[in-house]
């Protein structure tokens, strides 16, 4: 079940140089994900504070969401808090 979908509750943490890899962290619920917050639209993701550092438009975010969906599939659905 997704946590808060309020963009202002989320932050983007760079996990590699230059922000190539990013984690999304909900400051209120503690939810974390390697991908994009479940249920959040591209428009909402673009409203996360600091998101415009990584994406210039909704279309850019939509491409990133698709990339992350593929990565999640390739990883068997595992996410940041899943044990090995």
Set out the domains of the chain in order of their start, with CATH numbers: 7-74 (2.20.70)
Low-confidence ranges of the chain (pLDDT < 50): 1-2
Q: State the Cα–Cα distance between residues 64 and 23, nearest whole angstrom.
A: 13
Counting Cα atoms < 13 Å in the Cβ hemisphere of 70 gives 6
Question: What DSSP line would sit under the chain, residue for residue?
Answer: ------GGGEEEEE-SGGGSSEEEEETTT--EESS--TT--HHHHHTSTTGGGT-SSHHHHHHHHHHHHHHHHHTTT--TT---
- Confidence (pTM): 0.85
């Amino acid at each position: 079940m997704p946590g808060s979908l309020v963009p202002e509750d989320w932050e983007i943490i760079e996990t590699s140089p230059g922000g190539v890899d990013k984690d999304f962290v909900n400051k209120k619920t503690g939810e974390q994900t390697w991908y994009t917050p479940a249920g959040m639209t591209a428009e909402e993701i673009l409203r996360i504070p600091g998101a415009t550092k990584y994406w210039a438009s909704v279309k850019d975010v939509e491409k990133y969401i698709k990339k992350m969906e593929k990565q999640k599939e390739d990883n068997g659905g595992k996410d940041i808090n899943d044990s090995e």
